[in-house]
Structure 1
Amino acid sequence: MPELPEVEVARRALQEHCAGRRILRCSAADDPKVIDGVSPSQLESSLAGKTVLAAARKGKNLWLRLDSPPFPSFQFGMTGAVYIKGVELSKYKRSAVSPTEEWPSKYSKLFVELEDGVEFSFTDKRRLAKVRLLEDPESVPPISELGPDALFEPMQVDEFMNALRKKKIAIKALLLDQSFISGIGNWIADEVLYQVSFISFL
C-alpha cells in the first residue's frame, strides 16, 4: 500500500523530470471509478499544451501545478503508483520501466507525454485510486480536510501529547487519523510505536 514515502518519492521524481516541461499529449482511461468527476476527454484536453511548474504533495495526495488551472490530483489508494519511463523511483523495489515491458501499462489510468521524450504514467491495479481535475486542490476535500503533513509540518511533542490527552483514544488510532496528522499509514504507525517501545525498554 502506498504511504507517505512512496508518494514523496513520486513527487520528487515528477519534480525532477517533469517540472518546466510542456505536456504534448495525454491519454486517460475510460474508468469512472478512478477518473473521478471528469470525462477522459475533458481531462486530456485540460492538460494538453500546459506546462508543469511543480509537483506538490500533502499526506498521501499528490498534484501537479500547471501554468494555469485546473490541476490534476492523484489520491493513491491501495495500489496507485507513478512510473516515469526509464527512471528508477525507489531502491526498495523495481520501479524502472524496462524497454521490454508494456508501456504504458494496461493498468495505466493517466499517461502523459511531455517535451524532451519524458513520459509518465499513473497506474492502479485495484482501481481504488482517484484522479481528479481541480481548480485549487488544497481548498477542497480530501486535501482540505488533512491535518499537518507528517514530513513537511512535523508536530511538536507537547502539541501531540496535549492532543492525545484531549482526544482520549489509542495512540495508533490517533496516528492514523489523517485529519490529525496526514501521511501516516499502518506500517509507519507500527514502526513509530515499535521504536517508542524499544526506547522505553532501554
Structure 2
Amino acid sequence: MPELPEVEAARRAIHDNCVGKKITKAIVAEDSKVIDGVSHADFEASLLGKTIVSANRKGKNMWLELDSPPFPSFQFGMAGAVYIKGVAVTKYKRSAVKDTDEWPSKYSKVFVQLDDGLEFSFTDKRRFAKVRLLKDPTSVPPISELGPDALLEPMTEDVLFASLSKKKISIKALLLDQSFISGIGNWVADEVLYQARIHPEQSSATLSKECVEALHKSIKEVIEFAVQVDAESIHFPREWLFHFRWGKRPGKVNGKKMVIHMWFFFYRSLKNRLKLEQIVINFLVIGFFIPVKRNRERCWLMGRKLSLSQLVAGLQRLYQSFRS
C-alpha cells in the first residue's frame, strides 16, 4: 500500500515534470467506484485547457492545483500509483503496472497529455482509490479530517508524549489513525516501532518518556530517509524490517538471523537494568516478529501475565523453537 514516502515521490515526479504545462488531452475512466462524485465526461472537460500550477500532498493524499478550480484530488488507497511516460517514478512494493505493459494501462483512471507531449496516468488495479474533482481539496474530507502530516508538520516530543498519554489504544492502531497523524501506514508503522523497540500492541498511554523519545526519533528518521531516496526500497538500509516483513519469513541482518538481532536488544535491556515492565515489553517485541510458524510460542507469551521466572521460561522456549 502506498504510504507517505510513496505518495511524496509521486508528488515530486509531477512537480518536477508537469508543473507549468497545459493539459491538452484527458481521459477519465468510467468507474464510479474510483471516480467519486462526478461523471467522467465532466471531469475530462474540467481538465482540458488548464495549466498545472503545483502538486500538493497531505498524508497519503495528493492534489493538483490548476490555474483555476476545480482541482483533481487523489486518495491512493491500496494500489493507487502515478506513472509518467518516459520518466522513472518510484515503483513501490507490489506495483501493479510494469514497463512492458500497454500504455496507458488498462488500470488507468485518469490519463493526461500535456502541451509538450508528456503523458502521465493515475492507475489503480484494486479500485480502492478515490479520485475527486474539488474546488478546495483541503476544506473537505478526507483531507480536512487529517491530523498533522508526519513529514511536513512533525509533532514535538513533548506534544507527542502528551497526546499518547491520553490514548488507551495500541500504539500501532494509533499510528495508523490518520486523524492523529497522517501519512503512516502499515509498513512505516511496523518499521518505526521495530526501530524504537516498542511492541505494536502496547497501550499508547503506558509508553514511558524514553519510549516516546525513541518513537519520535524513529518516525523522523524512517520517513525522512524513505522520502530522501524517493521510496525506492532497494536503497533502504539492509537492517530495516521492511526487507523481512512481507513474506513473514526469517532473514539475516549483518550475517545473523533476525531472531539473534532481536535477542541482542533484550539482552541489552537486562544489562542496562531497565524496569521489569520494559524488559517484558522488549521481550514481547521478539514474540511479535517471530515467523508465523512460531505462533504457538507467540500466543503462549502474549496470552499470559508473566512473572520473571515465566519470562525466562518463555525465552528458553522461544530459543529452543528456533534451534529446532
TM-score interval, smaller chain = over 0.9
Matching of residues 75-90 of structure 1 within 5 Å? 75-90=75-90
Whole-Å separation in 1 of the counterparts to 2:101 and 2:122:
16
**Is residue 167 of structure 2 the alignment partner of residue 161 of structure 1?**
no
Whole-Å separation in 1 of the counterparts to 2:134 and 2:89:
26
Residue pair 2:2, 2:92 contacting (<8 A) in 1 also? no
User: Cα distance, 1:151 vs. partner?
Assistant: 0.8
Alignment TM-score, normalising by the size of structure 1? 0.94
- SS of the residue corresponding to residue 109 of structure 1 reads strand
| Structure-1 residue corresponding to 2:192 | 192
| Structure-2 residue corresponding to 1:72 | 72
Distance 1:36 1:95, change over 3 A: closer
| Structure-2 residue corresponding to 1:50 | 50
- SS of the residue corresponding to residue 24 of structure 2 reads strand
Larger radius of gyration: 2
Q: Which one has the bigger helix percentage?
A: 2
User: Cα distance, 1:166 vs. partner?
Assistant: 1.0
Q: What amino acid is the match of 1:4? A: L
Q: What amino acid is the match of 2:56? A: A
Whole-Å separation in 1 of the counterparts to 2:97 and 2:52:
22
Whole-Å separation in 2 of the counterparts to 1:156 and 1:193:
17
Whole-Å separation in 1 of the counterparts to 2:196 and 2:115:
47
Point out 4+ residue stretches in structure 1 off by more than 3 angstroms: 91-98, 198-202
Matching of residues 135-154 of structure 1 within 5 Å? 135-154=135-154
- SS of the residue corresponding to residue 197 of structure 2 reads helix
Q: Deviations over 1:24-59 (max 9, x none)?
A: 010000000000000000000000000000000000
Alignment TM-score, normalising by the size of structure 2? 0.59
Gaps of 5+ in 2: 199-210, 215-264, 269-324
Whole-Å separation in 2 of the counterparts to 1:142 and 1:112:
24
Matching of residues 13-162 of structure 1 within 5 Å? 13-90=13-90, 98=99, 101-162=101-162
Whole-Å separation in 2 of the counterparts to 1:69 and 1:91:
30
Between the two structures, name the one with larger relative contact order (CA 8 Å, sep ≥ 6): 1
- SS of the residue corresponding to residue 21 of structure 2 reads coil
Whole-Å separation in 2 of the counterparts to 1:105 and 1:97:
9
Aligned residues: 201
User: Cα distance, 1:179 vs. partner?
Assistant: 0.4
Residue pair 1:82, 1:120 contacting (<8 A) in 2 also? yes
Q: Which one has the bigger strand percentage?
A: 1
